[in-house]
Amino acid sequence: MASLIAENFKFVSLFFKSKDVMIFNGLIALGTVASQEVYSVFAFSCPCSPERNYLYGLTAIGVPALAVFLIGVMLNRNTWKLVFECRTRGCRSLSSTAGFALLGSIVGRAMVAPFTWTVISLLRGEPYVCALSEFVDSTSLDSFPGGHGAGTLARFPCKDVPAEVESFKEEIVRRLKYESQLLGWLLVGLAAITIFLLMCLKRCCSPLGNHQEAYWSQYRSSENDLFQRTAEVHAKLLAATNVKQFFGFVALDKEEREQVKEFAVEDATPSLQWNKITGVYLYRENKGVPLYSRLHKWAKDMIDANLDTNGK
C-alpha cells in the first residue's frame, strides 16, 4: 500500500513542477485577456430586450470559455497519451489515483484560458449587467416610478432608457457591476487557495527530493527536445531514401547531403517500438535506478536484453 501511494504521488508531482508549464500558462492568460479586451470593444452588444439579455450575457461569458477549454484539452499532449493508453492497454497500468491525477492535470491546464476569460468578463461587468439588469428589484430603488417592468429594466445597459427612469441607470449599473466584480474577485481568491493547497499537498507527500524532481523535469524536457529534432531528421532521411529509390536521385541541399552521409537510415521504426514508448508513464525504478520515461525504460530493457544475450 505504501509503495502504491508513493508511486502515485511521484506521478502527481510531475504536473506541478515545470517552470515551462507556468510560463506557458501565463502566456495563455495574457492572450485571453487581450482577446477579452478586443471582444468587449468590437463585438459585445447587449440586445436590451427581456429574456434575450439573460441568454446573451451568459452566452458571452460561457460559450467562449467552453470553446477555449476544449481547445486547451485538444492541444494538451497528455490528452492523446491517455487516449492511446486506454485504447491500446485498457488503462491497466493506471491506478485510480494516477488516472485522476492525469485527468486533473489535463483539465487544470485547459482551465487557465476559460478561467481567465470568465474572471475578466466579471471584472469588466458588461456581460453581467446585460444578463441581470431585467431582474433588478425595482422596489429596492427609492422613488422608482411604477409601471416600469422587466422591459424597461432590460434597456438600462443601453442608451435608449426612458427619460423618467434615466436617473436610476447609474445606480443600477453600479450595483450590478459591484456584484459582478465581487464574484470575479471571489473566483480569483478561490483559485489561489486551491493552487496553494495543491502545491502544499504535492510538497508534503512527494517522495522525491527537490533536486531529483528538478532533474526529472530537465530530463523530460531534454528528451522531448532531442526526440523531436532527431525524429525530424530521421523522417527527412527516410523520405530521401524512398524518393531516391523511386526517381533514382533526390534533390538535397548541402546540409541534407551531409546528414545523409553521416546518418544511415535503412527502414522505418517498427510500430511495436513506437507503441512501447507511447502512452502514459508512471515513475518507476529498476533495482534502485530511476526510469524517467517510457523511452528511458525501453532503452534500459534493450541494454539488459543485449547483456543477457552476450552473457549466454
pLDDT band at 144 (very low <50, low <70, confident <90, very high): low
Taking a C-beta distance cutoff of 8 angstroms, is the pair 46, 126 a contact? yes
Rounded distance, CA 30 to CA 205, Å? 32
Cβ-proximal residues to 134 (8 Å cutoff; 6+ apart), any chain: 50, 51, 53, 54, 150, 151, 153, 154
0.75 surpassed by pTM: no
- Taking only the tens place, the pLDDT of each residue in 90-133 is 776 666 777 777 888 889 889 988 999 999 999 989 899 999 88
State how far Cα 288 lies from the chain centre. 33
In a domain, 10, yes or no: no
Q: Is the pLDDT of residue 280 over 50?
A: yes
* Residue 25 resides in a domain: yes
Whose CA is closest to 61, among 106, 120, 10, 110?
120
Considering the domain architecture, whether residues 200 and 243 belong to the same structural domain is answered as no
On whether both 169 and 271 belong to a single domain, the answer is no
Do 44 and 135 share a domain, yes or no? yes
Check if the beta carbon of residue 153 is closer than 8 Å to that of residue 133.
yes
Q: Choose the final residue of a domain: 205, 231, 250.
A: 205
Q: Is residue 14 part of a domain?
A: no
pLDDT of amino acid 3 = 43
Domain count, the chain: 2
Residue 177 shares a structural domain with residue 298: no
Residue 43 shares a structural domain with residue 151: yes
Same domain, 184 and 41: yes
229/285 same-domain check: yes
Average pLDDT, the chain: 81
> Are the C-beta atoms of 42 and 6 separated by less than 8 Å?
no
Calculate mean pLDDT across residues 21-43: 63
253: in domain: yes
Instruction: Tell me, yes or no, whether 56 and 137 share the same domain.
Output: yes
Contact present, 156 and 174 (Cβ < 8 Å): no
Would residue 260 count as lying in a domain? yes
Structural domain boundaries enclosing 250: 211-311
Most confident of 1-10, 62-71, 98-107, 255-264: 62-71
Q: Do residues 181 and 273 both lie within one domain?
A: no
- Say if residue 188 is in the same domain as residue 69: yes
Asked if residue 13 is part of any domain, the answer here is no
Residue 82: which residues within 8 A CB-CB, separation 6 or more?
102, 103, 106, 280
Residues of the chain with pLDDT > 90, as a percent, come to 29
In a domain, 2, yes or no: no
CB neighbours of 108 closer than 8 A, spacing ≥ 6? 15
Write out the three cell numbers for 299: 532503452
- Average pLDDT estimate for 142-171: 73
Give pLDDT, residue 265.
83
Asked if 153 and 230 sit in the same domain, the reply is: no
Scanning the structure block, which residue is given the C-alpha cell 525530424? Answer: 232
At 281-301, the pLDDT tens digits run 877 788 888 888 999 999 998
33 and 50 housed in the same domain: yes
Is residue 150 a part of any domain in this protein?
A: yes
What confidence category does residue 146 fall into, taking pLDDT thresholds of 50, 70 and 90? low
Sign of the CA dihedral running 123, 129, 130, 132: positive
Cα–Cα dist 284/11, whole Å: 10
pLDDT tens readout for residues 33-46: 666 666 555 567 88
